[in-house]
């Protein structure tokens, strides 16, 4: 997958994770679920799609995070290179 495509995918999935996390916060504090905008929560296909996108976003981020996160990527790169710079450890 091209870097631009991965970066775009990361941006979209990260935004969905934020919305999903805020949904859980609002639900915990006020008992209000964002998906209720579209009807009776899990009985509505649109709500199921929204929750599926939240879950799929989490899976994508798990897979791409180390590569796309500057902080985690640099840590991983440091662990991959030996102190003498002669390859992977």
Dump pLDDT digits (tens) for 57-72: 888 888 877 776 766 6
Contact 64, 17 (CB under 8 A): no
* 57 part of a folded domain: yes
Containing structural domain, residue 38 = 3-80
Average pLDDT over residues 10-29: 86
Please provide the average confidence, as pLDDT, over all residues in the chain. 74
* 26 part of a folded domain: yes
* 15 part of a folded domain: yes
Contact 16, 54 (CB under 8 A): yes
* 88 part of a folded domain: no
Average pLDDT over residues 25-45: 76
Query: pTM score, two decimals?
Result: 0.59
* 89 part of a folded domain: no
Q: How many domains does the chain have?
A: 1
């Amino acid at each position: 997958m091209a870097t631009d495509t991965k970066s775009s995918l990361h941006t979209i999935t990260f935004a969905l994770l934020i919305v999903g996390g805020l949904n859980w916060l609002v639900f915990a504090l006020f008992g209000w679920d964002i998906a209720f905008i579209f009807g009776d929560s899990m009985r509505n296909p649109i709500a199921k799609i929204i929750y599926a996108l939240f879950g799929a976003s989490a899976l994508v981020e798990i897979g791409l995070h180390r590569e796309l996160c500057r902080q985690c990527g640099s840590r991983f790169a440091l662990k991959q290179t030996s102190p003498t710079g002669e390859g992977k450890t």
